[in-house]
Amino acid sequence: MTSTPYKLLFVCLGNICRSPSAEGIMNHLIKQHGLEEQIICDSAGTSSYHIGSPPDRRMTAAALRQGIRLEGQARQFQRADFEEFDLILAMDKENYENMLRLDRDGQYHHKVKLMCDFCTEHKDREVPDPYYGGEAGFVYVIDLLHDACRGLLKDIQTRLG
């Protein structure tokens, strides 16, 4: 792996459910593989709804049942994130399109991908927002993100050597 850490940014709408879960799961996998020095994660939301809020308690509970700790405070995606991060992962097509709109000249389009592009077991093309649903939705999102994060880690390891 390179000496400069590879930086990942996970993005959803409010940065309290899906993106902090992806960040937590990815950090868990990074630690399991001893890659803490090589890969760094963060998360953000395309909206300003929840700036400063901790991860959603229902999402936190679903993650904890699988041994994953969710941490941090919600923040909004900024144009500067395009330069700061090597890969930006959108949870759904709306988040993807909202970020690309901020990159008017298309300079950073190559850095923005859909999270589900890295799934190996699930057929979903987007990570559903569990915010208005029941417990099963939160559990499903954790399972889906585990799949995507495993695929993402494998992809990064292949690309970086």
C-alpha span between 57 and 96 (Å, rounded): 25
Catalytic residue among 42, 56, 81, 129: 129
Query: Would residue 58 show up in a list of annotated catalytic residues for this protein?
Result: no
Catalytic residue among 18, 58, 81, 149: 18
The H-or-E segment that residue 44 falls in is strand 39-45
In 3D space, the residue among 18, 16, 19 whose CA is nearest the CA of residue 8 turns out to be: 19
DSSP-derived 3-state class of residue 7: strand
Contacts of 14 (CB under 8 A, 6+ apart): 45, 47, 49, 50, 53, 74, 131
Query: Would residue 17 show up in a list of annotated catalytic residues for this protein?
Result: no
Query: Would residue 129 show up in a list of annotated catalytic residues for this protein?
Result: yes
Copy the structure tokens of residue 135: 């417990």
Q: Cite the active site residues.
A: 12, 18, 129
